[in-house]
């Protein structure tokens, strides 16, 4: 087992002494998201500010392709709530990966991914994307691991069948490079699932030692200040 780094222990102790406050929600500009994504009902049902709980609720409602697309939008909106270009990027991912004439159905692919994450776990979902990308390098075009692992993480949090897996983005990856070199570099690419598996296994061990959930460990790391 990789020992819990001193920096993480300090973050945990500070958070614990403060009563373990929840991450605050993020305000978002409703009109900007409607401008790019149209009148999807999910945009009217999400709270403003949006928090992690609201995104988990969207994933709990996933039961078909359309609800999986709604969950994607919820996770993307949460991740980009404070960035003005978020709606444009969400629309671009949907547009580039949806081409019915050539058999590309982004919502259906999202539903498949959500089911894998919810039934088999986050690592299996990540491995699914890696496998599909080897077959077709344009699979999930312009949707990298930093945001795809948000989708995967929320899918696992909405499931009662698997353990939760945390988000892996550039901030977390950089923190590991500074504080936990022994598990190796964490790559934000679709070339291999090994990096994500090493990350999630390490986070699960630390969560167990600290008696919290893996996504809470990720939140502590993400709040680098």
User: Tell me: the pLDDT tens digits for 2-51?
Assistant: 999 999 999 999 999 999 999 999 999 999 999 999 999 999 999 999 99
| pLDDT tens digit sequence for 77-134 | 999 998 889 999 999 999 999 998 888 999 999 999 999 999 999 999 999 999 999 9
Beta pairing partners, 104: 99
Neighbours of 115 (CB within 10 A): 17
Residues in the chain: 225
Q: What is the pLDDT of residue 30?
A: 94
Residue 103's pLDDT is 86
Q: 10 Å Cβ neighbour count for 2?
A: 12
pLDDT of residue 13: 97
pTM for the whole structure = 0.95
Residue 212: band (very low, low, confident or very high) from pLDDT cuts 50, 70, 90: very high
Q: Give the model's pLDDT for residue 95.
A: 97
State both tokens at 84: 């003005």
Q: How far apart are CA 82 and CA 139, in angstroms?
A: 27
Residues near 7 by Cβ (< 8 Å), separated by ≥ 6? 175, 179
pLDDT value at position 225? Answer: 46
- Residues 159 and 93: their CA atoms lie apart, in Å, by 25
- pLDDT value at residue 114: 98
Measured CA to CA, the distance from residue 92 to residue 5 in angstroms comes to 39
**Tokens 């960035």, residue located:** 83
Taking the C-alpha atoms of residue 159 and residue 175, their distance in angstroms, rounded to an integer, is 28
Q: Which residues fall within 8 angstroms of residue 119, CB to CB, at 6 or more apart?
A: 159, 161, 162
Q: For position 12, what pLDDT does the model report?
A: 97
pLDDT of amino acid 224: 56
Reading the block at residue 54, the tokens are 């609201």
SS3 category, 205: helix
Residue with tokens 């599909």: 132
Distance CA 177, CA 52 (A): 26
Q: What is the pLDDT of residue 145?
A: 97
Tokens of 92: 């671009």
Joined tokens for residue 170: 């550039």
In tens, the pLDDT along 146-197 reads: 999 999 999 999 999 999 999 999 999 999 999 999 999 999 999 989 999 9
CB proximity list for 82: less than 8 A, separation 6 or greater? 26, 27, 28
Residue 103 burial (CB count, 10 A) = 7
Distance between CA atoms of residues 199 and 183, nearest Å: 8
Compute the mean pLDDT over every residue in the chain, rounded to the nearest whole number.
95
């Amino acid at each position: 087992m990789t020992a819990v780094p001193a920096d993480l222990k300090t973050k945990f102790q500070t958070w614990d002494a403060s009563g373990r406050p929840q991450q605050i929600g993020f305000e978002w500009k409703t009109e900007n998201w409607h401008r790019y994504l149209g009148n999807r009902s999910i945009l009217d049902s999400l709270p403003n500010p949006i928090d992690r709980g609201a995104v988990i609720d969207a994933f709990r409602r996933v039961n078909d392709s359309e609800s999986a697309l709604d969950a994607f939008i919820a996770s993307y909106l949460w991740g980009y709530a404070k960035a003005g270009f978020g709606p444009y990027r969400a629309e671009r991912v949907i547009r580039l990966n949806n081409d019915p004439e050539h058999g590309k159905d982004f919502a259906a692919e999202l539903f498949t991914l959500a089911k894998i994450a919810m039934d088999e776990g986050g690592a299996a979902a990540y491995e699914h994307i890696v496998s599909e990308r080897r077959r077709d390098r344009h699979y999930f075009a312009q949707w990298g691991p930093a945001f795809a692992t948000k989708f995967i993480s929320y899918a696992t949090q909405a499931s009662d069948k698997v353990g939760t897996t945390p988000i892996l983005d550039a901030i977390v990856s950089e923190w590991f490079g500074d504080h936990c070199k022994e598990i190796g570099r964490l790559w934000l690419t679709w070339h291999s699932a090994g990096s994500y598996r090493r990350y999630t296994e390490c986070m699960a061990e630390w969560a167990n030692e600290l008696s919290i959930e893996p996504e809470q460990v990720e939140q502590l790391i993400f709040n680098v200040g």
